[in-house]
Amino acid sequence: MSTEVNERLELANRIAVEAGKITLEHFRNSTLNVIKKGDGSPLTIADQESETFLRQQIAASFPDDTIIGEEYGKTDGSSPFTWILDPIDGTKSFISGVPLYGTMVAVEQQSGGDHRESLIGSVYLPGIDEGIFASKGNGAWHFIGDQSPQRAQVSTTSVLADAVMVTSQVETFGERDAMDVYHRLAKSTWYSRTWGDVFGYLLVATGRVDMMIDPILNVWDAAAVQPIIEEAGGRFSDWGGIGRIDAGEAIGSNGLLHEEVLKLIGQS
């Protein structure tokens, strides 16, 4: 791993945890004010404080890097590196007092290709004190609390009928007129659950479920989990099978089932 990448990975891991812990100051707080954004998604002061902290830390260490965040947009830089931030992935869980939300930090390196891929991903779920991080070519590493990180590995399930599928919200399939896709996948797998958002991808990367399907998502929802899934031995792609973070949709799987999932999705 180059020094440039290693330094950014170390910072990503540190600030993901620290920003996640900032959100705990507002978690399950009865006085928390929730704002509905233009797209209907929720926003809280915890999202804003967490992203502000992340941006300050990145700017202090790498002032020439570009930063893209869910809440405060894009700050242009001159280096080939772009940080992609989601201060709280799973805000609906957060405002409901459900601890299955996380802070996501990713780094993308300009490649000149026709689609975007992440180089680094780090996520932390403060409500359960669990996280996972990866950089391309260096594996994915999972930790709980103060335990030393352990190598993460996807499941070995090779039969779709034995597989567990998770998604963030069933209704989002309907929002893109794809409820038939959800029903085909649900009927073809052992069972499905809405243990979604970043937690769903963490479950895939640690071998606890076999696939995570998102019919709609933003680049900051996908950026951190792509290298994590891939470095854990799985596969991350859009619904057409291309490995990218900017498609507005995603499949994260153990890799063994990926082609079958793509075929089910592609059926008319």
The CATH number of the domain where 170 resides is what? 3.40.190.80
What backbone phi and psi angles, to 5 degrees, belong to 28? 55, 35
Average pLDDT over residues 172-196: 96
CA 36 to chain CA centroid, Å, is 22
What CATH number has the domain bearing residue 123?
Answer: 3.30.540.10
The pLDDT score that the predictor gives to residue 229 is 98
Query: Considering the entire predicted model, what is its pTM?
Result: 0.95
Q: Alpha-carbon torsion 200, 204, 207, 209, what sign?
A: positive
Q: Which helix (H) or strand (E) holds 197?
A: helix 197-205
pLDDT tens digit sequence for 96-119: 999 999 999 999 998 777 788 999
Mean predicted lDDT score pLDDT of the chain: 95
Average pLDDT over residues 57-77: 97
Burial zone of 109 (CB within 10 Å; 0-12 exposed, 13-18 middle, 19+ buried): middle
Q: Beta-strand (E) ranges in the chain? A: 35-36, 42-43, 66-69, 73-75, 81-89, 102-109, 120-125, 130-135, 140-144, 150-151, 164-167, 191-193, 211-214, 235-237, 250-253
- As for how many domains the chain has, the answer is 2
Give the residue numbers spanning the domain of 70: 3-151
The pLDDT score that the predictor gives to residue 136 is 96
As a whole number of angstroms, the distance between CA 234 and CA 165 comes to 14
pLDDT at 268 over 60: no
Q: Are residues 38 and 142 in the same domain?
A: yes
As a whole number of angstroms, the distance between CA 27 and CA 94 comes to 7
Domain end marker among 124, 151, 178: 151
Q: Are residues 24 and 115 in the same domain?
A: yes
Q: Are residues 118 and 82 in the same domain?
A: yes
201 neighbors 49 (Cβ within 8 angstroms)? no
